[in-house]
């Protein structure tokens, strides 16, 4: 894991002091709210509907126990004893006071963390695969490249005021767990014919009101050229991205308007002019970053037969079926800790739970944790011999929900319960769906199914890429929920298709249940997942089931 | 028209409403209701004099309940007045 050097530490501390001064000037009335707004946003401080909200960056989701404990402490010291892990692998505190925010940032700086560039029209926190460094199919750990991009983009003077926010995701595996096709730039590790590892570059993906699947800009860029390449893309975007209309300001719209070929021509024009400049990351820098993320010594783990543990505990077996994933080392597994207990708020963890996770990481899992964009916490490297102990401790902390990838493992934005932009609530909908399928006890029978809920068109809940997506809107003062089907955020990227008119909150559950019953009744067998079933049969049978025949009320 | 004036305290961020004595209170039901533009504008002008105390101030539409108390009309303002619906936080506890 990358550790801050003196430069990083000083930079973050200076920013804390600078912001402390800016806050004081606002309190003293030297700065108006209008003048203060861009300053607080650059430091991750939003005003939401109830209070200030602080969004803290967790680069590529990676944490150690010290950082996790500090996040827990901050939630108790300055907030209400919990934090909300987001779909951008960050954490948000919902109840922060302006008078204390500089102290929060100082506490974060103590553990090499900050809230810089978690808001505003800049390059945001670089996200990555939550199984980075552990995945069986990984070509290389993507985090050295993510860290390179983080260092380059943090405080980049040319890109502090882009036309709109800019999101970069990196994955090291062909199976995309980081939704790279739905980012402004997505990078995916690949090997060329010579066996050299470089990155395939996607551009112009995104969710929101105009969802787009990213398109391939280059099949292979060597690591030493990555910064120049990314710089060239953002350089062109910064010059020509629209600033006249907020809703058409993302790079995806520039690509739409220019066409991919012309965009590529302009990007390469700049790229070719940079190619021979000395500011390339040298192979030494790349090696340094690779070394920072060297894997733990996996050889110390003993061989262990988990099947024997499963025989002794059915609940452990059930949990293992959904929450354990094969690790690149045969004596380890990846543990996904669900923050989606049915009836609880998706992505929320109490200070106590954060400390339990920190303890487990430190004691049993090489002191490493990762926040997933699916709002769960991953212990990427767990020796098999420790799985039972970890499960028991998780169970004691109410963290042993066995539902990863299942119908109750729902991504949900905070929605109208917290967010100023929201047009409807999403948390109660997530809670209702998860509780309902828990009561029906059909979750295992349904199998893998991703439900994603956004409380507005900005799509923080990634509804476009949910196998079942739910979008909350306001229809003449009443919350109304549209359903999309068939979305997929993986390498087989698809944007979900809308079924038709939306449903009121009290009718939505019935519609979701009907959709799932269509699948359960008509699937070939249990091996045909919901998504595969949808791809085979299309939207029609679902529409028929939820709206009735054409000519009835909805048609 | 029926409006009340709301804001957030600058330091704490707490949701507040202006009452008829020009004091900032936390319970929207006790806010002053403005039924003409002039009173509403005067209230906004009063808020403008307090920019060092307030994060922002704006008018919201309200309905009157059966006991004559104002109730925010929009869903968002209703949740803002009563607290989030996923947790029973201090605002809801205080009211009960």
Q: From the candidates B86, B87, B89, which should be mutated to test the interface with A, based on the most A CB atoms within 10 A?
A: B86
The alpha-carbon gap from B16 to the nearest alpha carbon of chain A, in Å, equals 10
Is the ipTM higher than 0.85? The answer is: yes
Cβ separation A51–B14 shorter than 8 A: yes
Residues A240/A250, Cβ–Cβ less than 8 Å: no
Token pair recorded at residue A497: 């298709």
The nearest CA of chain B is from the CA of A302 a distance in Å of 44
Per DSSP, what are the bridge partners of residue B57? B7
**Whether B85 and A425 lie within 8 Å, measured CB to CB:** yes
Q: Answer whether 0.90 is exceeded by the pTM.
A: yes
Residue of B nearest to A49 (CA): B80
- The Cα of A88 is separated from the nearest Cα of chain B by a number of Å equal to 21
Give the pLDDT of chain A (555 residues) as one tens digit per residue. Answer: 899 999 999 999 999 999 999 999 999 999 999 999 999 999 999 999 999 999 999 999 999 999 999 999 999 999 999 999 999 999 999 999 999 999 999 999 999 999 999 999 999 999 999 999 999 999 999 999 999 999 999 999 999 999 999 999 999 999 999 999 999 999 999 999 999 999 999 999 999 999 999 999 999 999 999 999 999 999 999 999 999 999 999 999 999 999 999 999 999 999 999 877 766 688 899 999 999 999 999 999 999 999 999 999 999 999 999 999 999 999 999 999 999 999 999 999 999 999 999 999 999 999 999 999 999 999 999 999 999 999 999 999 999 999 999 999 999 999 999 999 999 999 999 999 999 999 999 999 999 999 999 999 999 999 999 999 999 999 999 999 999 999 999 999 999 999 999 999 999 999 999 999 999 999 999 999 999 999 999 999 999 999 996 655 544
Q: Using the beta-carbon criterion (under 8 Å), do B85 and A50 form an inter-chain contact?
A: no
Question: Which of B52, B56, B79 lies nearest to residue A417, judging by beta carbons?
Answer: B79
Give the count of Cβ contacts less than 8 A between chain A and B: 71
Structural domains in chain A plus CATH codes: 6-110 (3.90.480.20), 137-292 (3.30.413.10), 298-396 (3.90.480.20), 411-547 (3.30.413.10)
Query: H/E/C letters for each residue in A42-53?
Result: HCCEEECCCCEE
Count up the domains in chain B and report the number. Answer: 1
Supply A387's token pair: 């799985």
Check CB contact under 8 Å for A33 and B51: yes
Domain range enclosing B52: 3-95
Give the pLDDT band of residue B92 (cuts 50, 70, 90): confident
CA dihedral A195, A198, A200, A206 (to 10 degrees): 150
Alpha-carbon Rg for chain B in angstroms: 13
Q: Which residues contact residue A395 at a Cβ distance below 8 angstroms, ignoring those fewer than 6 apart?
A: A315
pLDDT attached to residue B84: 95
Which residue is closest to A45 within chain B, CA to CA? B13
Q: Is B63 on the interface with A (CB under 8 A)?
A: no
Partner A contacted by B50 (CB < 8 A): no
The Cα A22–Cα A14 span in angstroms is: 12
| A430 touches A346 (CB < 8 A) | yes
> Among partner residues A27, A49, A345, which is closest to B80 by beta-carbon distance?
A49
CB of B83 less than 8 A from some CB of A = yes
pLDDT in tens, B49-63: 998 899 989 999 999
Q: How far is A375 from chain B (nearest CA, A)?
A: 17
Nearest-CB residue to B10 (from A80, A98, A424): A98
């Amino acid at each position: 894991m990358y550790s801050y050097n003196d430069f990083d530490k000083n930079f973050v501390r200076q920013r804390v002091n600078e912001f402390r001064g800016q806050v004081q000037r606002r309190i003293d009335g030297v700065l108006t709210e209008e003048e203060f707004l861009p300053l607080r946003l650059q430091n991750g401080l939003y005003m939401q509907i109830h209070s200030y909200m602080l969004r803290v960056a967790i680069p590529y989701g990676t944490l150690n126990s010290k950082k996790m404990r500090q996040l827990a402490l901050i939630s108790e010291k300055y907030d209400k004893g919990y934090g909300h892990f987001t779909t951008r692998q960050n954490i948000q505190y919902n109840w922060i006071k302006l008078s204390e925010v500089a102290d929060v940032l100082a506490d974060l700086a103590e553990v090499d963390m900050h809230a810089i560039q978690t808001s505003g029209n800049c390059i945001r926190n670089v996200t990555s695969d939550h199984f980075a460094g552990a995945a069986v199919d990984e070509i290389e750990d993507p985090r050295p490249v993510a860290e390179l991009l983080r260092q380059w983009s943090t405080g980049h003077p040319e890109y502090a005021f882009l036309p709109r926010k800019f999101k970069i995701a990196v994955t090291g595996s062909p199976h995309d767990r980081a939704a790279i096709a739905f980012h402004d730039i997505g990078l995916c590790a690949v090997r060329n014919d010579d066996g050299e590892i470089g990155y395939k570059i996607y551009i112009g993906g995104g969710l929101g009101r105009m969802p787009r699947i990213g398109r391939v800009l280059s099949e292979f860029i060597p690591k030493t050229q990555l910064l120049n390449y990314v710089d060239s893309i953002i350089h062109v975007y910064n010059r020509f991205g629209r600033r006249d209309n907020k809703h058409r300001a993302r790079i995806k719209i520039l690509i739409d308007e220019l066409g991919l070929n012309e965009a590529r021509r302009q990007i390469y024009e700049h790229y070719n002019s940079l190619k021979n400049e000395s500011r390339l990351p040298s192979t030494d820098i790349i090696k340094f970053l690779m070394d920072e993320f060297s894997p733990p010594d996996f050889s110390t783990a003993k061989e262990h037969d988990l099947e024997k543990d499963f025989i002794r505990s059915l609940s452990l077996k059930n949990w293992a079926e959904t929450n354990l994933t094969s690790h690149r080392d045969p004596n380890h597994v990846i543990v996904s800790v669900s923050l989606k207990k049915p009836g609880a708020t998706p992505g929320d963890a109490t200070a106590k739970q954060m400390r339990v996770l920190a303890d487990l990481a430190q004691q049993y899992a090489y002191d490493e944790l990762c926040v997933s964009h699916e709002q769960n916490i991953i212990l990427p490297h767990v020796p098999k011999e420790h799985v039972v102990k970890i499960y028991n401790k998780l169970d004691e902390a109410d963290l042993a929900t066995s539902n990863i990838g299942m119908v109750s493992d729902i991504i949900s934005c905070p929605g109208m319960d917290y967010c100023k932009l929201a047009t409807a609530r999403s948390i109660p909908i997530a809670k209702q769906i998860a509780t309902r399928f828990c009561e029906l006890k059909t979750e295992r029978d349904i199998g893998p199914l991703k439900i994603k809920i956004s409380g507005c068109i900005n799509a923080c809940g990634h509804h476009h890429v949910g196998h079942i997506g739910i979008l909350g809107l306001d229809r003449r003062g009443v919350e109304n929920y549209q359903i999309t089907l068939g979305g997929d955020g993986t390498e087989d990227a698809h944007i979900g298709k809308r079924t038709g008119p939306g449903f009121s909150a009290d009718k939505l559950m019935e519609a979701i249940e009907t959709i799932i019953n269509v699948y359960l009744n008509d699937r070939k067998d249990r091996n045909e997942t919901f998504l595969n079933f949808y791809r085979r049969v299309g939207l029609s049978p679902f529409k028929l089931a939820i709206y009735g025949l054409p000519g009835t009320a909805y048609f | 028209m029926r409006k009340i004036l709301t804001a957030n305290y600058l330091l704490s961020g707490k949701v507040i409403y202006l009452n008829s004595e020009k004091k900032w209170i936390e319970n929207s039901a006790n806010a002053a209701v403005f039924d003409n533009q002039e009173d509403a504008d005067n209230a906004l002008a009063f808020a403008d004099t307090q920019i060092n105390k307030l994060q922002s101030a704006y008018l919201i539409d309200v309905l009157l309940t059966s006991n004559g108390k104002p109730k925010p009309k929009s869903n968002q303002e209703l949740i803002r007045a009563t607290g989030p619906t996923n947790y029973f936080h201090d605002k809801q506890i205080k009211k009960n």
